[in-house]
Chains A and B, each alone.
Chain A
Amino acid sequence: MGLKYVDEYRDASLAKQLISKINDVSEKPLRLMEVCGTHTMSIFRHGIRTVLPGNITLLAGPGCPVCVTAQKDIDAFIQFARMDDVIVTTFGDLIKVPGSGSSLAREQSLGADVRIVYSVFDATNIAKENPGQQVVFCGVGFETTIPTIAASVLTASGDGLENFSIYSANKLTPPALAALMEADGVEIDGFILPGHVSVITGTDAYRGTFEKYDIPSVISGFEPVDILKAVLMLVEQNEKGVPALENAYPRAVSDQGNTKAKIIVDQVFEICDASWRGIGTIPQSGMCLKDAFHSFDAAIKFAMDLPDVPEPKGCACGEILMGLKTPKECKLYKKRCTPMDPVGPCMVSSEGACAAFIKYSN
């Protein structure tokens, strides 16, 4: 029995052909960054690192949504959880991330009403079912998750749902790529660009960054054959010395992206500066609610404006997200920081580089 659109991209013989071609073509040492956390997970899960030649290094990038969420935003979620008559709704990944001294999971064990949802619309339904309580949704994620959050705000606005609001820590991918290219010490020979994000943004969204920095860039799907194909394309671009912006995921990604989703996002959100964990503020890299929707902005509704907090001492999460360090080069890795007792979010999220290293490699 096969699983359509999955099994054919896990085909062992096709994968082995790609692996042998990569081995044939690749000569230069290459540092390729998979921008997306789902890629990191998939690369480990399928053992892709173990089949690539030794001259190719894969680096986990800043695309794990939980990992790049600033400590002050995690602290804000915890503050909401501590308020009376507030139900905090969140995607599961976020619940164990330590803020300054607590986590949503800990607040839950102390009696806070924290609920894991699978869609932001579960949160609006909870708001409808609990008219006496305020429901706050922790808005974390990239272009992939922003459209449904925007749609939920439009629905809540249309339904006059006054007890629902979101705290937007949502972020955009292309400005992060540009920030990486500008940062000191960052050595990247090519980007494996995110598949899900690109379904929404389209290939065109990366054109500006590509043209400015002339960096080999290939959009990839998430199955092993997809990833190996993208790696091969990046190897070929590097060996030939001809950087290009290519789409290795055409079954899902178009040049323009999902225009309907983009229209919905534009109705609700506007671009603003955003604080990234370990990287700092990146101009024009976040999404804030437009003035017309301020009544759904939890930060405004509850006057939640926490100061930036220093990250835990010794935690190299930020440098790891920028490809400057590997998890094993962090002083806390497997010592003070373990999945059982994590210090930074890279160790918490299933898509975090440190968690993936510990879980899947020896």
Chain B
Amino acid sequence: MKTDKILLDHGSGGKISHSLFSQLILPLFENSALAQQDDGAVLEVGGQQLAFSTDSYVVDPIFFPGGNIGDLAVNGTINDVSMCGAHPLFISAGLIMEEGFPIEDLKVILKTMAHAAKKAGVQIVTGDTKVVPRGKADKIFINTSGIGLIPKGVNVSGNHAKPGDKIIVSGTIADHGITVLSTREGLKFDSDVKSDSAPLNHMVKAILDSGCDVHVLRDPTRGGLGTTLNEIASQSNVQIQIFEESLPVHNSVKGICELLGFDPLYIANEGKLIAFVPEDDADKVLKIIQQDEFGKDAVVIGEVKESNPGKVVMQTAIGGLRRVDMLTGEQLPRIC
């Protein structure tokens, strides 16, 4: 059934979101920077390469274990800029608030934003506030944009994965999505899961400063690791193979996923990156990531192959093979 309306699925980050982008948005705004389809646009201004990215945050609930919508909005944009191989410098923040929103809550969110920016070493230099009548928005929405400088010689993109590359993930997957889901009204899990919201710019700087060859950097946010790997397999026209036994997933997260029928591969992360690195440099990059405060659990989860380009496959723990497809729409809890 084709739809003439926007469905929640259009915001899932899966195939339906992609078709909205490729069929409606890209043809209208067509330009080479947008066509790269990376986390941010890479632009050349006066001989200097800039990365520019924007993202909107509408998370519900706005406060959750491990963070709130404020640090999520700052870290998210810092990470998108960083994944272009850039050092993020300046951020903008646009707030859309619902009439009646408590000023106390706003204070907490703004303080968290200031703290997150300071920790990452970026400045929030411009912004905007708007208020809409009660019921016309849900409490508070935040948009952030960020710019950063790409050092000379750095060239990372989702297009650059090459057969033989090792794939490193910087820590446990699915923490953020499962935290938000289990905090959301109606799902009262008593668990120790918390969001992984964190700035990754220092980690990226350490990787790039090491002189190691890095082909791809991505943060697997909305749509999760499975969706991001599919994007890269398709952008680079390669096959990606991952190993189920290597995937780092917290026990509580694994338990909640089992209970609800969710696959952690498709659950959002907000403080993790994946790096595609040629085999010769893989150990070195892994160690650098593990030395970062947000990368202690980093592991190699797979490698890039030549055959079956565009596909992502997983070797299961029992030795079977299965495809990891891109999610179509939102994952829904199953009946039994």
- Complex CA–CA separation, A55 to B316 (angstroms): 22
Whether A46 lies near B318 (C-beta < 8 A) is yes
- Please, what's the 1-or-0 string for A41-58, where 1 marks a CB less than 8 Å from any CB in chain B? 100111111110000000
Q: Does B153 contact A (CB under 8 A)?
A: no
Q: Does B319 contact A (CB under 8 A)?
A: yes
Whether A50 lies near B322 (C-beta < 8 A) is yes
- Complex CA–CA separation, A172 to B136 (angstroms): 45
- Complex CA–CA separation, A350 to B333 (angstroms): 9
Whether A105 lies near B321 (C-beta < 8 A) is no
Query: Pick the contact of B5 from A65, A92, A96, A110 — CB < 8 Å?
Result: A110
Cβ contacts under 8 Å, B308 to chain A:
362
Whether A51 lies near B254 (C-beta < 8 A) is no
- Complex CA–CA separation, A284 to B314 (angstroms): 43
Within 8 A of B (CB), among A199-242: 224, 228
Number of interface residues of B (CB under 8 A): 43
Whether B3 lies near A109 (C-beta < 8 A) is yes
Whether B320 lies near A48 (C-beta < 8 A) is yes
Q: Does B332 contact A (CB under 8 A)?
A: yes
Q: Does B336 contact A (CB under 8 A)?
A: yes
Q: Does A331 contact B (CB under 8 A)?
A: no
Q: Does A27 contact B (CB under 8 A)?
A: no
Cβ contacts under 8 Å, A19 to chain B:
318-319
Q: Does A95 contact B (CB under 8 A)?
A: yes
Whether A95 lies near B321 (C-beta < 8 A) is no
Whether B3 lies near A359 (C-beta < 8 A) is no
Whether B316 lies near A46 (C-beta < 8 A) is yes
Whether B318 lies near A47 (C-beta < 8 A) is yes
Query: Pick the contact of A47 from B5, B9, B260, B320 — CB < 8 Å?
Result: B320
Query: Pick the contact of B15 from A44, A105, A339 — CB < 8 Å?
Result: A339
Q: Does A144 contact B (CB under 8 A)?
A: yes
Query: Pick the contact of B334 from A46, A93, A117, A358 — CB < 8 Å?
Result: A93
Query: Pick the contact of A196 from B19, B323, B336 — CB < 8 Å?
Result: B336
Query: Pick the contact of A341 from B1, B5, B336 — CB < 8 Å?
Result: B1
Find the B residue at minimum CB distance from A99.
B1
Q: Does A263 contact B (CB under 8 A)?
A: no
Q: Does A245 contact B (CB under 8 A)?
A: no
Q: Does A1 contact B (CB under 8 A)?
A: yes
Find the B residue at minimum CB distance from A338.
B328
Supposing A96-B329, A360-B325 touch, asked if A65 and B335 sit within 8 A by C-beta, the answer is yes
Whether B16 lies near A340 (C-beta < 8 A) is yes
Whether B7 lies near A106 (C-beta < 8 A) is yes
- Complex CA–CA separation, A287 to B255 (angstroms): 32
B238 shortest CB reach to chain A, Å: 15
A114 shortest CB reach to chain B, Å: 11
Q: Does A25 contact B (CB under 8 A)?
A: no
Whether A46 lies near B320 (C-beta < 8 A) is yes
Supposing A3-B255, A3-B258, A102-B1 touch, asked if A92 and B319 sit within 8 A by C-beta, the answer is no
A230 shortest CB reach to chain B, Å: 14
Cβ contacts under 8 Å, B1 to chain A:
98, 101-103, 106, 341-342
Q: Does A186 contact B (CB under 8 A)?
A: no
Whether A224 lies near B318 (C-beta < 8 A) is yes
Q: Does A145 contact B (CB under 8 A)?
A: yes
B31 shortest CB reach to chain A, Å: 27
Query: Pick the contact of B321 from A41, A47, A102, A358 — CB < 8 Å?
Result: A47
Supposing A118-B186, A341-B2 touch, asked if A361 and B322 sit within 8 A by C-beta, the answer is yes
Cβ contacts under 8 Å, B2 to chain A:
341
Find the A residue at minimum CB distance from B315.
A47
- Complex CA–CA separation, A60 to B309 (angstroms): 29
Q: Does A141 contact B (CB under 8 A)?
A: yes
Supposing A118-B187, A362-B311 touch, asked if A47 and B334 sit within 8 A by C-beta, the answer is no
Which chain A residues have a beta carbon within 8 Å of chain B's beta carbons?
Answer: 1-3, 6, 10, 12, 15-16, 19, 38, 41, 44-51, 65-66, 91-96, 98, 101-103, 105-106, 108-110, 116-118, 122, 140-142, 144-145, 196, 224, 228, 339-342, 349-351, 358-362
Which chain B residues have a beta carbon within 8 Å of chain A's beta carbons?
Answer: 1-3, 5-9, 15-16, 19, 186-187, 245, 251, 254-255, 258, 260-261, 263, 308, 311, 313-323, 325, 328-329, 331-336
A2-B251, A3-B255, A106-B7 given. 4 additional CB < 8 A pairs? A106-B5, A108-B7, A141-B336, A340-B328
